[in-house]
A and B are shown apart, each in its own frame.
Chain A
Amino acid sequence: MNGEQHPLAVPVYKTLLEVLREDLHLTGTKHGCELGECGACTVLVDGEPVLSCLALPIELEGREILTIEGLMEGGRPHPLQSAFAEMGAVQCGYCTPGIVLSAKALLDRNPMPTRQEIAEALSGNLCRCTGYIQILDAVERAGARMRERRS
């Protein structure tokens, strides 16, 4: 979990979302619908977006989980975090952790996605506030910064 190992004893029927929030006290991962419909609970498992409300920890044994708390790099915000803050892509913020992680999975796999590809990658993440435009802009800006950094 975020680069650390956590030995945990929890009931098998607790979802990853419940364990993250209630046992590990990592409340950055949000609970929305808890039925797979909103994406608020998205985390990355081996780099791929997974809904923590529909995943059991026992099914993820030995795999690497990244939550929003583990996204900072060397004490500095990830380019996605900075771009979201700068572009007004965060309003109430409830959808943000899930969206940022879905966007990270996309940019790691495809450093220069089209706007359509960004929308497709984020199609499971609902936002009630922003109207999405700022979110798409922020992902584009973060992608550009990450490419600059690499070159």
Chain B
Amino acid sequence: MLRLPPFQYFAPRSLDEALRILSDHGPEAQIVAGGTDLYPKMKRRQIQPRALVSVRRIPELSHIAWMAHDGVTLGAGVTLARVLACENLAIAYPALARACAGIAHPPIRSMGTIGGNLCIDTRCTYYDQTFFWREALGFCLKKGGTVCPVAPGGTRCWAVSSSDGAPVMIALGAQLRLIGPHGERTIAAEEFYRDDGIQYLAKAPEEILVEVRLPCREGWRSTYWKLRRRGAIDFPVLGIAVAVCMESGRCREARIVLGAVGSCPKRIREAEGILEGNPLEPDVIEAAARAVSRAIRPLENTDFLHLYRKKVASVFAQRALHELAGTPLTGGLSGT
């Protein structure tokens, strides 16, 4: 049996109580929501917190609240299954529904939360292995070692941001509300991530993600395309979230965000610029798709060859944009 290491478990019923427990235990404590990312990592001894602070019973984390003409607020503790069950969310934010529907599989979607999804640990072929495996190969920079086998000459970790939700939240312009011992703050989803496989979040460990605010996206179209080996279970090894706002046949504003090609989700501003001011016609789409592929440099630390992922990035960008233009392409790869 792969067992969890021992820990103390706390189930606070308010944010104040949770913050108090987190500060009492300092770096030994870790927040847990559904546990679907954390528990496997603990079983593999990648993370070994002494105290777990569950956010499941905190009422401020469990709402879906619509604000008239001003979007929606999702509590961080809302499960992925609840997001999927909400038809209004799928209508207002198709990319979000599409991304959630592709996460893992049904039991994980009923256990895992949207907040947990935005905070999941970065992934790497050399890191997401059992203790035995990692010890046999020699530990890497991210946990216990001094060398990164992916880029042995360097000093940084290139583990991959593998959340399906993260690129979508950035593309949709989400704001995240965080509460910590020194008060609360609200930041753009884009600023929540750091380009570092180890310190991948711009958040203190004792800060709790309370809610995600999605602005009203009337007049926008959005979608999400995901590459993985199987049609279920697997994490993304490439994800593309695209949102465009159309006005009299032209793209007024565009957001293209790639997941799983680096240590943080990556906005491709050059591609956005190519779309803006233009109709979504095949040559414009093709130019934007080429810019997407040019801007990324995936490494050899996930499933599939890195060069293949780079190539599929432009194919998926093209398909996603054609989908939003109402001229869907058909053929081979079916982004799931």
A residues with CB within 8 A of B = 11-15, 18, 31, 34-37, 39, 42, 48-51, 54-56, 58-59, 102, 120-121, 123-125
Contacts and interface: CB of A to CB of B under 8 A. Distances in A.
Given A50-B111, A124-B108, 15 more contacts: A11-B6, A12-B7, A13-B5, A14-B4, A15-B3, A36-B104, A36-B108, A49-B110, A51-B36, A54-B35, A54-B108, A59-B54, A59-B56, A121-B106, A123-B105
Main secondary structure of the interface of B (DSSP, over half): loop
B231 interface: yes
B284 to A, nearest CB: 35
Interface of B: 1-9, 11, 35-36, 39-40, 43-44, 54, 56, 81, 104-108, 110-111, 231-233
Contact of A58 (B1, B9, B107, B111): B9
Nearest to A98: B107
A18 B56 contact: no
Given A54-B40, A55-B111, A124 B35 contact: no
Contacts, number: 81
Contacts of B105: 39, 123-125
B40 A36 contact: yes
A50 B107 contact: yes
A51 B36 CA distance: 9
A100 B56 CA distance: 28
Contact of A42 (B44, B107, B231): B107
A29 to B, nearest CB: 13
Given A34-B2, A35-B43, A56-B9, A51 B107 contact: yes
Nearest to B37: A36
Contact of A12 (B2, B8, B35): B8
A15 B38 CA distance: 13
A51 B1 contact: no
A124 B107 contact: yes
Nearest to A17: B1
A62 to B, nearest CB: 12
Contacts of A51: 36, 107-108, 111
A13 B5 CA distance: 7
Contacts of B40: 35-36, 54
Contacts of B56: 59
A44 B111 CA distance: 12
A102 B43 contact: no
Given A18-B3, A54-B111, A123 B36 contact: no
Contact of B36 (A14, A36, A49, A120): A36
B7 A54 contact: no
Nearest to B107: A49
B78 to A, nearest CB: 15
21 contacts: A12-B7, A12-B8, A13-B4, A13-B7, A34-B1, A34-B2, A36-B104, A49-B107, A50-B110, A50-B111, A51-B36, A51-B111, A54-B108, A55-B35, A59-B56, A123-B231, A123-B232, A124-B104, A124-B106, A124-B107, A125-B105
